[in-house]
Structure 1
Amino acid sequence: MSCSFNFSDKKVLVTGASQGLGYEICKSLSNLNAKVFALARNREKLEALAKEHTNIVPIVGDVTETKEELEKILAEHQPFDFLINNAAIAHMESALEATVKNLDEMYQVNVRGPIIIAEIVAKEMIAHEIKGSIVNVSSQSGLRPLHDRIGYSSSKAALDMVTRVQAREWGIHGIRVNSVNPTVIILEQGLGVWSDSDKAKWMRDQLPLKKFAAGKDVINAILFLLSDASALTTGLAFPVDGGYSSQ
């Protein structure tokens, strides 16, 4: 039996929406009839996205803003049915070379941002009795250690615990919260930090399926976690990693 998704009459907030996976998530949800609110710092890219898809609303903002500023930015668009905390930043540093600047930046974007934005969104879901779904975009790095990722891996592990706490506290209100934990994602922008062929081969060789994730692999997992197909799923770290974290 095939599974199809339709999010008509649903409002979804996506952070980190101006590029990479966030950009593709917005387009996919738009094509599935959702009203998409795309939050990012890059006004030009957001406006280009909205020009292509009339049901995408650009919101210019930074996930590291104060709670008061984020509440103000989101107020006119609330409440939402879904939230995808996708904004993230990665600095590759070893456990002997971590810098305070990069650690602070990663924890602000990868952990504090999702906590505050989910709090703002969930309060309105509860107030309007919306049984919503939240997906925090994490990483295989939060489930298994990798070299040169002391800050990034620990921030994603923290995000997975954020997911479990949110799911535990908000389940009584019918709000489900899950993480999706992808391996390296192949998008139009390329491999990014994995562009080095030897490094990419080494990582692929660690995966039982011997291949990285396509954008659609991760997006399909997110759509499943948003949808009623996963109505009894909450507090889960959902690996899309070719089997890496099973080892």
Structure 2
Amino acid sequence: MSTHPFDLTGKLAVVTGAKRGLGKAMAEALAAAGADIIGVSATLEPNGSEVERTVESLGRSFSARAVDFSDRDAVRSLGAELATLERPVDILVNNAGTIERAPAAEHPDELWDQVLQVNLSSQFVLSREIGRAMIARGMGGKIIFTASLLSFQGGINVPGYAAAKSGIAGLTKALSNEWAVHGINVNAIAPGYIATDNTEALRNDPSRSQAILDRIPAGRWGAAGDMAGAVVFLASPASDYVSGTVLPVDGGWMGR
């Protein structure tokens, strides 16, 4: 067994929202550290996806699952399947998510419900199923959520998203309180303003984009690859005494 604290050789990682953006970057980073990957996304191709090609080029195995996280029954079925695999899941990265923008006074119930289901309720359902299997196995594990700067702040025109990501911060701590004793480390990464599909509207608004850049000490929007070090750390033995933490990766935004 390797003594390198960041070595993930022989580990199996499930990464949701793996088709593009942060999830794709995190899946590739885990593969580069030695993990085999099960990628999950609503529209992930069964074969031949870009993330699959990259993971396999790194010498790791990849398998795909297409699951809509707005469908709780589908997520429950995914959790049941993953919990009973012959090869157990060592790492779960809960990254699937969506965002809907509308002022709070005009924010319809259906958008609120959609965002809470995808970004919070389904995250709990999947974590519960895999966490239960990790406890029964008795060999620990790593569960990593994608939180947000809006886990700490309120945002503008995204009340459902802010509520869900605040909930993720609380869920991270709640699960850690119960599962750390079983050797299961539950933590979250809070990305800053990253150049992905979710932030396209902000980046296309010159005044908002400039206001955001003016506050980031690093002086740039983040890239999906900026999540690599954090996810490998939280997935690896290097973080065995880190639990219940929400780790900002934000170019210094929270320190400003």
TM-aligned CA distance change 1:57 to 1:222, over 3 Å: same
Q: How far 1:136 moved relative to its partner?
A: 0.3
Distance, in Å, in 1 between the alignment partners of 2:130 and 2:207 is 42
1:175-190 matches, within 5 Å, as 175-186=184-195
Match of 1:194 among 188, 196, 202: 202
Distance, in Å, in 1 between the alignment partners of 2:223 and 2:132 is 34
TM-aligned CA distance change 1:186 to 1:46, over 3 Å: farther
1:23: which partner in 2?
24
Unaligned runs of 5+ in 1: none
TM-aligned CA distance change 1:201 to 1:4, over 3 Å: farther
Q: How far 1:244 moved relative to its partner?
A: 2.3
Distance, in Å, in 2 between the alignment partners of 1:81 and 1:32 is 14
Query: Which runs of 4 or more aligned residues in structure 1 lie more than 4 Å from their structure 2 counterparts after TM superposition?
Result: none
Answer with 194-203 or 121-130: which moved more.
Answer: 194-203
Q: How far 1:229 moved relative to its partner?
A: 1.6
Answer with 205-214 or 151-160: which moved more.
Answer: 205-214
TM-aligned CA distance change 1:142 to 1:61, over 3 Å: same
TM-score (norm 1): 0.90
Letter in 2 for 1:65: R
1:78-157 matches, within 5 Å, as 79-157=88-166
Q: How far 1:4 moved relative to its partner?
A: 7.5
1:6: which partner in 2?
7
Secondary structure of 2:38's match? strand
TM-aligned CA distance change 1:214 to 1:225, over 3 Å: same
For these two proteins, the number of residue pairs brought into alignment is: 244
1:57: which partner in 2?
63
1:238: which partner in 2?
247
1:25-40 matches, within 5 Å, as 25-40=26-41
Distance, in Å, in 2 between the alignment partners of 1:98 and 1:57 is 37
Q: How far 1:216 moved relative to its partner?
A: 2.3
RMSD of aligned C-alpha atoms? 2.1
Distance, in Å, in 2 between the alignment partners of 1:130 and 1:60 is 28
Secondary structure of 2:169's match? helix
Note if contact 1:16-1:39 (Cα within 8 Å) is conserved in structure 2.
yes
Distance, in Å, in 1 between the alignment partners of 2:202 and 2:121 is 26
Note if contact 1:16-1:86 (Cα within 8 Å) is conserved in structure 2.
yes
TM-aligned CA distance change 1:135 to 1:33, over 3 Å: same
Q: How far 1:134 moved relative to its partner?
A: 0.8
Distance, in Å, in 1 between the alignment partners of 2:151 and 2:96 is 15
Note if contact 1:85-1:135 (Cα within 8 Å) is conserved in structure 2.
yes
Q: How far 1:191 moved relative to its partner?
A: 4.8
Q: How far 1:177 moved relative to its partner?
A: 0.6
Note if contact 1:71-1:120 (Cα within 8 Å) is conserved in structure 2.
yes
Secondary structure of 1:133's match? strand
Q: How far 1:144 moved relative to its partner?
A: 1.4
2:219: which partner in 1?
210
Q: How far 1:198 moved relative to its partner?
A: 2.5
TM-score (norm 2): 0.87
Note if contact 1:18-1:46 (Cα within 8 Å) is conserved in structure 2.
no
Secondary structure of 2:104's match? coil
Percent of aligned pairs with the same amino acid: 25
